[in-house]
Amino acid sequence: MPRIAIGGFGHETNSFVSHRADYAYFADHRDRPPLVRGSAIFDWLRDGVFPITAFIEAMRDEHALIPLAWAHGGAGGPVTDDAFERIAGELVGRLSEAMPVDAVYLDLHGAMASIPFEDAEGELLRRVRAVVGDRPIVVSLDYHANITPEMVEHCDGMVVFLTYPHVDRRETGERAAKLLSSLLGKPRPAGRAIRHMPFLIPTTAQCTLVEPSRSIVAESRLLDGNVLSLCYAAGFPPSDLFWCGPTAVAYADSQTEADRVADALTELVVSREADFNATLLTPAEGVARAIAISRTASRPVVLADVQDNPGGGGSADTTGILRALLEAGASNAVVGILCDADAAAAAHAAGEGGEIEISLGGHVRVDGVEPVHARYKVKTLGTGRFRTSGAVTGGLDVDLGPMALLTVGGTEIVVSSKRMQAMDLEPFRHLGVEPAERDIVVVKSAVHFRAEFGPIAEQVLLIKAPGAFADDPEVYPYERLRKTVRLRPCG
């Protein structure tokens, strides 16, 4: 029975935010499991939508799975040297002790940067390759991966999410299992190719529900000839590294085949450059339009606070749209998920039905953001522990710390103690809010919200309020990015 070592280490690194992803950040249970080791991987990851979950299900009956370590942190600032060395060291150390193995599967992200290593996952794979020699290494990556030549060189095959919102995480794990099975007992692929596009793509323009991304990912599914895997990753613009940006990657039985399909996919992406666009409104414009639409609509208008998306490293505590709602006198509106642990604690101290006078949000320094000082009523309280149900993150047991539903004027605010992107309905329902029953719903998310909130929305409006996750890559002060890259399509 083949022995397959499995593990994972991933993070989506925003190089331009002040906080750092330290060891405690990965060890904490938040909107995903904490750092888990050895057989605990099977306990923590047997449910949910992670690629490794589906990989385990697909492989466990006919293979001996050797669990190493798994840790994924939500998007944020660079990973500290201490965190990287401790987690990577434990994963590689357990792999060394498990040798010999027949192959390795790693559930990565592809956009992790640590303070010493701008290509942190490339460094991790270099260490893994040094241990296993010529055994197959297969990885699954996020659609927002910034894939580097080092990552490609040290792997024998990759699979990348095909959807954004990411509703195919489990399918990605299944594809990884199929790919690794095809490589067992064979020499390393003779052909591997990576192509970097000459421009960056704003996150809001990467959505695969619409063109041009829909056609591009469909093309990447088409394998022919002796092609083992073909991948397209749209990139994660806030990562300041030389190879940041969209890529096409191919593995094949020959270099000619790998070059052929990688070139064809690259030509398709470049030919659609002008089609990558999304229209964003100011908070005042978005709120005014939402109020007007809601007067005759039977479903809510959803406003996406795209630049305070915690899934891209945003603080989840900016107040631009909240302030616009209050200034416009909006009613039957809800904002979520705003992360303010002090506000949640004050609400729990006051109790349901109580009132608290606080400065809400705006505690993480972001230009143009100030707290909203007001007297808030505490409508409902929650433990922050619930199970998600949506297509992107369904089946996860979440712990967001104490939560509270505060009200001021005609607006409710879902407040948490830990950050979570508003891509699932359950954080709202946990506090008694059914989003479909509101006139205006504000979500701190860029694209993932569309999987659950899109179907209930009368209309979706993208809002450009101040936040740490800039939609326009031209505003980022890159220091490492190669100079030939256009900072946005046709820029």
Asked whether the beta carbons of 110 and 233 are under 8 A apart, the reply is: yes
pTM comes to 0.95
Distance CA 92, CA 8 (A): 11
Radius of gyration, alpha carbons of the chain? 22
For the chain, the farthest-separated pair of C-alpha atoms sits apart, in whole angstroms, at: 70
Give, as one character, the DSSP assignment of residue 18: S
Q: Return per-residue pLDDT of the chain as tens, 491 residues.
A: 999 999 999 999 999 998 899 999 999 999 999 999 999 999 999 888 999 999 999 999 999 999 999 999 989 999 999 999 999 999 999 999 999 999 999 999 999 999 999 999 999 999 999 999 999 999 999 999 999 999 999 999 999 999 999 999 999 999 999 999 999 999 999 999 999 999 999 999 999 999 999 999 999 988 877 899 999 999 999 999 999 999 999 999 999 999 999 999 999 999 999 999 989 999 999 999 999 999 999 999 999 999 999 999 999 999 999 999 999 999 999 999 999 999 999 999 999 999 999 999 999 989 999 999 999 999 999 999 999 999 999 999 999 999 999 999 999 999 999 999 999 999 999 999 999 999 999 999 999 999 999 999 999 999 999 999 999 999 999 999 999 999 999 98
Tokens of 174: 């299944």
Reported as type and span, the H/E element at residue 326 is helix 320-328
Distance CA 5, CA 106 (A): 8
Tokens of 80: 């500290």
Burial class of 39 by CB neighbour count within 10 A (0 to 12, 13 to 18, 19+): exposed
Angle among Cα 276, 277, 282 to the nearest 5 degrees reads 160
Sign of CA dihedral 314, 316, 319, 320: positive
Where does residue 38 fall: left (phi above 0), alpha (psi -120 to 50 degrees), or beta otherwise? left
